[in-house]
Amino acid sequence: MKLLSPADQLFLWLEKRQQPMHVGGLQLFSFPEGAPDDYVAQLADQLQQQTAITAPFNQRLTSRLGQSYWTEDHQFDLEHHFRFEALPTPGRIRELLAFVSAEHSHLMDRERPLWEFHLIEGLQDRRFAVYTKVHHALVDGVSAMRMMKRMMSSDPDQRDMPPIWNLPARQHQEDRPRPSLMNNLSHLLGESGKQLGTVPTVARELLRTINEARRNPEYDSIFHAPRCILNQKVTGSRRFAAQSYNLSRIKDVGAAFGATVNDVVMAMCASALRSYLLSQNALPDKSLVAMVPVSLRKDDSTEGNQVGMILAGLGTHLSDAADRLRHIHLEVNEAKERYANMTSEEIINYTALTLAPAGFHLLTGMAPKWQTFNVVISNVPGPQEPCYWNGAKLEGMYPVSIAMDRMALNMTLTSYCDQIEFGLIGCRRTLPSLQRLLDYLEDGLTELEQAAGLQP
């Protein structure tokens, strides 16, 4: 039995029917050359034989004296976790996204290891998909992404590769999760020093932080996001939307404006959000504020990672796409410069301070007077070389993240070869037709290309 970390415990507390706390990934593969038509069914048969399970995929929750622990599931039932499924006719990406939307809305069974692996046949053009769902208390998003990557190979001829639930053990060092929003929160809560057993303790710590924040001279600048429909309570049903965008186009725009790829991606998000909120008659007068995890590494060390969260205005009040990109570029640089003069410890404290109110909302469901940010835009690094799974080429991979009360939309993206892969998850009742954001992202990129003279 292993005690849950406070951060992992937090994900269990936060979970309710309207707010499942699992993360996921959608991977799109093409059949290996010469594969038979029933290739996916054969693959399913092989996977059903893979009954050896390695940690953490054999770990279930158990509770003792009100404290949660991980323990091995001695009634492990692979059929519950590995699911072979199919898309209805005509098997377009649209049917795939509807499938993931429905599956991502369902709570998992807490009496079992908190993961599911869905192998999906019935996609057009000799393709198939894998949708993986893992509770955030078991694995964080970045670690999940890394596991999916370890499941694959850069060698198209490699075969007999184990599935994700039976990957060979490797050094703990490399599997260490990177700092993330929740890890920073748990740092604030003293994860390394002490274990935390109860909600009231967490709430008290957060409240103390908020009171400190009120005395902080930067207080005013921290809590300045406008009210927006993105920040309502969510319901229990999700819509997932995903699409690939060409990285070279994004790089060209960045070069033309002297901006980074990340700046351009954020400007695409800003355009998309502006168009969507206009279509809903819900665009705030003030600029939306995005919370963005950024790398803060100052040297070339690869040991560990330093990820800070910056809050950046998205310029959604500006009607000109080029103006928005310049606005974002300035906002991000300013936030980074603020960090540049701080020590690592100061950065983490500052980040935690900035995020504390968000954590407090999450935990208590209280409606506070201030909104720290409107939307999370998270950029997770992905593989730069083509990947293969038992000879099947990975064509695209899309993160499926978490929508929650007051954060009804999450925009997570990753890179793969020459693609930027967007995965948008949101509450489909709070944000009707949110799949339109995909087209608005494309429009946003096109507008920037036009402004840069890259398109007629």
136 part of the active site = yes
Peptide bond into 56 cis (omega under 30): yes
Using rule CB under 8 A, residue 353 touches its own copies: no
H helix and E strand count, the chain: 14, 15
Under 8 Å between Cβ of 310 and 184 = no
DSSP 381: -
288 or 425: whose CB is closer to its own copies? 425
Residue among 380, 252, 384 at smallest CA distance from 325: 252
- The DSSP annotation for 240-270 comes to EEEEEEEHHHHHHHHHHHT--HHHHHHHHHH
| Whole-number Å distance between alpha carbons of 312 and 420 | 21
Of residues 235-264, those binding its own copies (CB under 8 A)? 235-237
Counting contacts by CB under 8 A, is residue 98 touching its own copies? yes
Should residue 86 be labelled a site residue for its own copies when binding is judged by CB under 8 A? yes
H or E segment and range at residue 100: helix 93-104
Site for its own copies (CB under 8 A): which residue of 69, 84, 219, 370? 84
Nearest to 358 by CA among 376, 345, 344: 376
Chosen residue from 47, 104, 121, 145 binding its own copies by CB under 8 A: 121
Residue from the set 24, 122, 254, 359 that interacts with its own copies by CB under 8 A? 122
In 3D space, the residue among 184, 239, 112 whose CA is nearest the CA of residue 351 turns out to be 184
Catalytic residue among 136, 187, 327, 329: 136
75 touches its own copies (CB under 8 A): yes
Whether the CB-CB separation of 151 and 161 falls below 8 Å is answered with yes
106 near its own copies (CB under 8 A): yes
Binding piece for its own copies, criterion CB under 8 A, among 163-171, 216-224, 234-242, 320-328: 234-242
Binding of its own copies by 232 (CB under 8 A): no
Residues 6-25 that bind its own copies (CB under 8 A): 17-18
Q: Considering only residues 373-432, where is the footprint of its own copies by CB under 8 A?
A: 428-429, 432
Position 35 contacts its own copies (CB under 8 A): no
Question: Under DSSP, is residue 288 helix (H, G, I), strand (E, B) or coil?
Answer: coil
Shortest distance (Å) from residue 90 CB to its own copies:
7
Should residue 439 be labelled a site residue for its own copies when binding is judged by CB under 8 A?
A: no
Q: Does 59 bind its own copies (CB under 8 A)?
A: no
Residue 19 and residue 404: Cα distance in Å, rounded? 6
Closest C-alpha to 434, from 320, 279, 289: 279
Catalytic residues: 136
The residues of the shown chain that bind its own copies, judged by CB under 8 A, are 17-18, 38, 40-41, 44, 75, 77, 79-80, 83-90, 98, 102, 105-107, 109-112, 121-122, 235-237, 428-429, 432
